[in-house]
């Protein structure tokens, strides 16, 4: 029996509509609409596209977004000064520095400069540190890992006691997802480029999160029958039959794995749409924190 398709696009649209409604409720009560500021340094084409997408999503959710652009040759001090300025602006509830930054800039120092209460990307060391500690909760969770967990929860996947394998150990996806799965009481194995017998480990997984960045790396005979497969990868491969000359595939060989798995996310249309939806959710959360209502009312 072919796997159930986890429709990230539909789930993300429902979440975005929920955020939009909650923003409208805030404004009706006389509270300010959430404000998101983006910081783009340089002219990286992919980064420009991502930032435009985020502003468009904000506009649709009635979140006020402002773009801040610096040249590629901006100094470390100029970038950090801009972030300090945004930290001090009461109309800005969330700050997103688009990564990667141009060569020569210290990303960690820039991310450290963002106010903890405005770190809607969830990459501040304190937020990541809280995520890694038992009994501690971060103010914000990185958007893509949060989106992965949202898809699992929305799909009714039982994580407590499950064997979970995370393929990839990046700071942006792999490691935060692994920490979130541990918090959900799963038993987690992290696979990476030095891991031996990766197929054998994946065959033990009740839940597989693939975020390794290698096109169609995971094959059908690697997957445990009935497993839930979340494919975070987005890879371009040449395809002369397409007008663009390429098509997008994940880190999982979808057609093969879909014949074995119990549920699977497609690429595109799986995890990708969730990233922006969770960013909007985090920005709303940041506005609620700024209201002074505290953690209890910020969810």
Please say if 98 is a catalytic residue: yes
Whether residue 285 is annotated as binding a ligand: the answer is no
**What pLDDT score was predicted for residue 167?**
98
CA 236, CA 218: separation in Å to the nearest integer?
16
Domains of the chain with bracketed CATH: 30-115 (3.40.50.10860), 143-272 (3.40.50.720)
Which one, of 156, 145, 177, lies nearest residue 4 by Cα? 156
| Crossing angle between the packed helical segments 272-290 and 143-154, to the nearest 10 degrees | 110
Residues of the chain with pLDDT under 50: 294-299
Q: What's residue 64's pLDDT? A: 98
Q: Is 65 annotated as a binding residue?
A: no
160 has binding-site annotation: no
Judge whether 41 is annotated as a binding position: no
**What whole-number distance in Å separates Cα of residue 102 and Cα of residue 44?**
9
| Model pLDDT, residue 47 | 92
Q: Is 255 a catalytic residue?
A: no
User: Tokens standing for 164?
Assistant: 């979970």
* pLDDT at 242 (0 to 100): 84
Residue 299: per-residue pLDDT:
44
Determine whether 21 is an active site residue.
no
253, 248, 241, 246: which is closest to 210 by C-alpha? 253
- Helix, strand, coil shares of the chain, percent, nearest 5, are 40, 15, 40
The pLDDT tens digits for 194-231 are 999 999 999 999 999 999 999 999 999 999 999 999 99
| Span 169-191, pLDDT tens digits | 999 999 999 999 999 999 999 99
Per the residue annotation, which of 7, 117, 119, 121 is the catalytic one? 121
Let me know: does 251 contact 217? Beta carbons within 8 Å: yes
pLDDT value of residue 296? 36
């Amino acid at each position: 029996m072919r796997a159930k398709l986890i429709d990230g696009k539909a789930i993300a649209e429902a979440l975005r509509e929920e955020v939009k409604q909650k923003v409208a409720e805030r404004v009706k009560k006389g509270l300010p609409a959430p404000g998101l500021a983006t910081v783009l340094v340089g002219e990286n084409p992919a980064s420009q596209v991502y930032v435009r997408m985020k502003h468009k999503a904000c506009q649709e959710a009635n979140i006020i977004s402002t773009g801040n652009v610096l040249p590629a040759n901006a100094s470390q001090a100029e970038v950090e000064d801009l972030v300090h300025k945004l930290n001090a602006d009461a109309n800005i509830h969330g700050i997103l520095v688009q990564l990667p930054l141009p060569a020569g800039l210290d990303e960690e120092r820039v991310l450290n400069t963002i106010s903890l209460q405005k770190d809607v990307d969830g990459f501040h060391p304190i937020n990541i540190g809280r995520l890694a500690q038992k009994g501690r909760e971060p103010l914000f969770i990185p958007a893509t890992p949060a989106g992965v967990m949202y898809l699992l929860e929305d799909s009714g996947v039982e994580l407590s006691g499950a064997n979970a394998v995370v393929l990839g150990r990046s700071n942006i996806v792999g490691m935060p997802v692994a920490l979130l799965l541990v918090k959900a009481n799963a038993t987690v194995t992290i696979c990476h480029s030095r891991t031996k017998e990766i197929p054998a480990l994946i065959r033990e997984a009740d839940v597989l999160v693939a975020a390794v960045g290698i096109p169609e790396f995971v094959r059908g005979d690697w997957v445990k029958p009935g497993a839930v497969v979340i494919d975070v990868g987005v890879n371009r491969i040449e395809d002369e039959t397409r007008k663009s000359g390429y098509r997008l595939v994940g880190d999982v060989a979808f057609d093969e794995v879909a014949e074995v798995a119990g549920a699977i996310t497609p690429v595109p249309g799986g995890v990708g749409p969730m990233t922006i939806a969770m960013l909007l959710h985090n920005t709303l959360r940041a506005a609620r924190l700024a209201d002074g209502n505290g953690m209890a009312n910020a969810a």
